[in-house]
Amino acid sequence: MILIAAIALAGCSEAQKGSENGSAAPADAAADNSVPVANGPGALGIATDDLPDFVELPKSARVTTNMRMNDGDKAGGTLTLETAETPAALIAFYRASMARHGLKIGLENTADKMVQLMGESEDKARTLMVTVLTDDAGAATLNLVHSRVIS
């Protein structure tokens, strides 16, 4: 985790120069419109319009941080979100989201007050790590770390 944070921080100044992705979410990413795509309509306060289509956010989520990085042929970032969703609902949401976007779950960790999933595309060009932390009151914090190969 520390290494990921260090890489994200190192890339922040480069990422502020602008996103190289610039693509819109595909129309079929959320066919029934029940799952908002991160760069779809209904901004959440902190800019999320440059996220790749495979990074979906729950409707109830409020983004508290969005650190971006670009490093040569790779781009990615870390988001932290607050949500009223239960950890079980969040994990179900991201299992379905990863399946929709062709990300195979290769890592799953569960510990006291933490659940983590890591999904990767078959060609290893896209990855998404989801960590759900629960505080003593039962409130969930969601951390998303995403990366992708860019041309």
% of the chain exceeding 90 in pLDDT: 52
Residue type, 20: E
Would the pLDDT of 87 be above 70?
yes
Is 113 in contact with 94 (CB distance < 8 Å)? no
pLDDT average, residue stretch 130-137: 94
Task: Give pLDDT tens digits for 29-48.
Answer: 333 333 444 433 344 457 77
Is 5 in contact with 131 (CB distance < 8 Å)? no
Is 51 in contact with 40 (CB distance < 8 Å)? no
